[in-house]
Every structure is written in structure tokens, then in C-alpha cells.
Amino acid sequence: MGKIRIATPADAPAIQAIYAPMVSDTVISFELIPPTIEEMAGRIEATLPTYPYLVAELDGAVVGYAYASQHRAREAYRWSVDVTVYIDPAAHRRGIGRALYQRLLPILEQQGFHAAYAGIAQPNAASVGLHEALGFIHIGTYPEVGFKHGQWHGVGYWRKPLNTVTPPREIVAFSEARGYVEL
């Protein structure tokens, strides 16, 4: 399959090259203007203290990435986490998205998160299939929630349970968990 490792700001050019066409050419992302390489580097740096940000390499080239992010700002949401995965279209159907999530989700579980959530712009059968194969369950859809490329688009939401302990333990920041997280 290749190698999965923690992203660094030096990966920003490759990550931006994967993500920019998703922004400009599709409704997979609801951003309207592709972020610059510098913005992507800043996003990686801002994510890593708290959440994992992983890249997949094939033959030394970054071909995909996955990361976690804050679900909502209110404090009671802190045990919930959003997850995202993007794969270079040239590397689709090789199991890279699955491999990234199979590394990302156990890290989030070790950190103490209760559930992972994925928002998928509709329609996107490939992404739905990946998430459902990994145990995510569809919990609802916001119809016509985003307007892009001249039309309205809905977003479906999928949930995967991670930890069921009640009350939950405090979340361990990724920067602290890196010592015991296996990659």
C-alpha cells in the first residue's frame, strides 16, 4: 500500500495539489477558492497540536491525506470529532482512503474521543461506500445546505462510535498522544 505517516507543513504543496481541484472543480468541498500552499501549511500546523493529520505515500509521493478537526465550538462537544479524507484521483480505488482511516480512527479512540462524524456532499457514492464499510452510520442529511457551481447541494452526515465509556475521560491532545500512538 505504501506508507502512512504524520503530515508536516512540508507536505502542504502535495496536499494543496490534491485539494485544490476538489474545491474548484467539484462540490466535494464547500470552499469556493482553493487555499494557497501557505494556507495549507498553516492548517496542518494548527491541527497537529490537538488532532492527527496523516498522509499516505506511494513511491515517495503524497497521494492522500486524512485529518480530524473540532466538531463544534461549545465545550460539551469536545468528545466529538469531524474526520476528512482526500485522495488524489489518480490513486483512487487502491484502498488508500481505507488505510488512512484505519490509522486515523484508532488514534482518535486512543485520544478519548466518543464519536467521529463525516459530512459528505451529495451525491458521492464512493465516499458513502468507504465510510459505511468502515462502520459509519448515516444519521441524516441537510438538504440544500450549500450553494456552489450554480445549484444547491445537500450534505449527509455519518457517525462512527469510538469510545462508549460514561462519563468520558478527558481528551488527550495529539501532541501528547504521539508518544504512545502507533504509526
100-152 residue pLDDT tens? 999 999 999 999 999 999 999 999 999 999 999 999 999 999 999 999 999 99
DSSP assignment of 163-177 equals: ---SSPPPPPPHHHH
Cell 474545491 locates to 23
Task: State the CATH architecture for 3-177.
Answer: 3-Layer(aba) Sandwich (3.40)
Nearest to 111 by CA among 39, 171, 37: 171
Where does the pLDDT of residue 99 fall: very low under 50, low under 70, confident under 90, or very high at 90 and above? Answer: very high
Q: What is the mean pLDDT of residues 147-174?
A: 96
Q: Given this model, what pLDDT does residue 180 score?
A: 53
Strand residue runs (E) in the chain: 3-6, 53-58, 61-70, 80-87, 115-121, 137-148, 151-161
**CA distance to 84, 119, 143, 171, per residue, from 155 (Å):** 14, 6, 7, 28
> What three-state secondary structure class fits 39?
helix
CA-based R_g, the chain, Å = 16
Higher pLDDT pick, 1 / 87: 87
* pLDDT tens profile 14-70: 999 999 999 999 999 999 999 999 999 999 999 999 999 999 999 999 999 999 999
Domain boundaries along the sequence of the chain = 3-177
Which cell goes with 112? 478519548
Least confident of 36-40, 95-99, 178-182: 178-182
Q: Given this model, what pLDDT does residue 178 score?
A: 67
Q: Given this model, what pLDDT does residue 6 score?
A: 95
Separation CA 47–CA 183 (nearest Å)? 17
pTM over 0.85: yes
Q: Given this model, what pLDDT does residue 2 score?
A: 84
Angle, in degrees to the nearest 10, between helices 37-47 and 12-25? 110
Q: Given this model, what pLDDT does residue 177 score?
A: 80
Is residue 63 within 8 Å of 83, Cβ to Cβ?
Answer: no
> Phi and psi (nearest 5°) for 152?
-80, 145
Where does the pLDDT of residue 183 fall: very low under 50, low under 70, confident under 90, or very high at 90 and above? Answer: low
**What's 104's DSSP letter?**
H
